[in-house]
Amino acid sequence: MGFMGIIDDLKMQYKTGGITLQLIFWNIGIAIPLFLLHAFSNDGFLSLMSWIQLTSDPSEFIVKPWTILTYSFLHVDVLHLLFNMIMLNFSGRLFLTFFTQKQFLGLYLLGAIFAGLVFLGTFFLFGYKAPIIGASGAIMAVLIGSATYAPLYQIRLLLIGTVKLWHIAIVFLILDLIQIPTNNMGGHIAHLGGAVFGFIYIKLLQNGTDLSLIVTRILDFFANLFKPKKGTPFKKVHRNVSQPKPKTAPASRIVVKDKTQQQIDEILDKISQSGYDSLTKEEKEFLFKAGK
Q: What is the pLDDT of residues 119-156, one digit of tens each?
A: 999 999 988 899 999 999 999 999 999 999 999 999 98
Q: What is the predicted pLDDT for the residue at 244?
A: 52
Mean pLDDT of the chain: 85
Rounded average pLDDT over 98-120: 96
First CA to last CA distance, the chain: 22
Q: For residue 55, what are the β-bridge partners?
A: 131
Q: What is the pLDDT of residues 161-206, one digit of tens each?
A: 899 999 999 999 999 999 988 888 999 999 999 999 999 999 999 9
Q: What is the predicted pLDDT for the residue at 248?
A: 47
Of 102, 115, 118, 29, nearest to 72 by C-alpha is 115
Contacts made by residues 56-63, CB under 8 angstroms, sequence distance 24+: 56/119, 56/120, 56/123, 56/124, 56/128, 56/129, 56/130, 56/131, 56/132, 56/186, 57/129, 58/120, 58/124, 61/120
| pLDDT of 281 higher than 80 | no
| Spatial separation of the C-alpha atoms in residues 169 and 20, rounded to whole Å | 19
| pLDDT of 250 higher than 50 | no
| pLDDT of 292 higher than 80 | no
| Spatial separation of the C-alpha atoms in residues 152 and 35, rounded to whole Å | 40
Dihedral of CA atoms 158, 184, 67, 202 in degrees, nearest 10, equals 50
Alpha-carbon distance values, 10 to 22, 23, 183 (Å):
11, 13, 37
The least confident of 12-21, 118-127, 227-236, 276-285 is: 227-236
| pLDDT of 34 higher than 60 | yes
